[in-house]
């Protein structure tokens, strides 16, 4: 069913070296509404702000080589915009990936730190175990791309763990009542991401694509269903 107005999906891509074009395209693949992409690190000042800053139906916050602890000019502006969403003052579905996952946890009172004292980076394709989340119900294993030096090390109050990997016990989080979901892995990652991360692009196989798409689509379904007159997205 077509909603009474065109829904808006905003994607915040805080990449610091090159835009995540392929990942953004993968997110929008099943999205029939309008969209807008913000790139605060690559385009200074390009952060949702002001009265129009919450005129969206859903937000995806992607990964970045930056740390939530870095003193970069765009991070405080992004944090200021996110806070009303995280408190529920602005009830907007939010989906965080990697840096997005860590920033949500950090602002909500969790702890983010390095994987180990050597600041080793986890890179490759691994399996994560989902259980207890609203987006994909039941226990299931997903094949996912990982690329991170930091991780969420303490669950913030009001959140629960929804995904676990051997090297990432807090691989997924969701708020207990608000439509906020986040994951340390990259469901949107495709060949462009793999090449830049040093992963063999051949590892982006059919299973990985399907698993990532199911998770992304589940979030898009939630966004779409919350819009006036919206129901289901329809065939994928």
- Choice among 150, 151, 188, 221 that is catalytic: 188
Q: CB within 8 A of 136, min separation 6: which ones? A: 130, 214, 215, 218
User: Is 106 tagged catalytic?
Assistant: no
User: Is 186 tagged catalytic?
Assistant: yes
Phi, psi dihedral angles at 182 (to 5 degrees): -150, 150
Question: Which stretches within the chain are classed as H helix?
Answer: 21-28, 74-87, 99-107, 191-197, 206-226
The answer to whether 87 touches 157, Cβ cutoff 8 Å, is: no
Q: CB within 8 A of 70, min separation 6: which ones? A: none
- Choice among 20, 98, 106, 175 that is catalytic: 98
Identify the sign of the CA torsion 157, 159, 160, 165.
Answer: negative
- Choice among 151, 175, 186, 221 that is catalytic: 186
**90 burial level (CB within 10 Å; 0-12, 13-18, 19+):** middle
- Using DSSP's 3-state secondary structure scheme, residue 104 falls into helix
Three-state DSSP string of 137-203: CCCEEEEEEEEECEEEEECCCCEEEEEEECCEEEEEEEECCCCEEEECCECCCCHHHHHHHCCCHHH
User: Is 188 tagged catalytic?
Assistant: yes
Active site residues: 98, 186, 188
């Amino acid at each position: 069913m077509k909603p009474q107005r065109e829904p808006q999906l905003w994607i915040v891509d805080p990449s610091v070296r090159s835009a995540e074009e392929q990942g953004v395209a993968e997110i929008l693949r099943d999205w029939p509404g309008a969209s807008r992409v913000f790139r605060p690190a690559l385009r200074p000042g390009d952060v949702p702000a002001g009265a129009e800053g919450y005129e969206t139906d859903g937000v995806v916050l992607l990964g970045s080589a930056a740390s939530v602890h870095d003193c970069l000019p765009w991070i405080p502006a992004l944090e200021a915009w996110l806070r009303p969403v995280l408190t529920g003052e602005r009830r907007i579905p939010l989906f965080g990936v990697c840096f997005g996952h860590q920033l949500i946890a950090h602002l909500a009172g969790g702890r983010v730190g390095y994987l180990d004292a050597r600041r080793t980076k986890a890179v490759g394709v691994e399996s994560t175990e989902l259980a207890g989340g609203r987006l994909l119900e039941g226990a299931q294993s997903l094949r996912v791309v990982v690329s991170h030096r930091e991780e969420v090390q303490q669950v913030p109050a009001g959140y629960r763990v929804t995904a676990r990997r051997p090297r990432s016990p807090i691989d997924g989080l969701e708020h207990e009542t608000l439509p906020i979901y986040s994951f340390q892995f990259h469901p949107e990652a495709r060949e462009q991401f793999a090449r830049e991360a040093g992963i063999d692009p051949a590892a982006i196989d059919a299973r990985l694509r399907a698993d990532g798409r199911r998770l992304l689509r589940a979030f898009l379904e939630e966004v779409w269903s919350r819009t006036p007159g919206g129901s289901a997205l329809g065939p994928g």
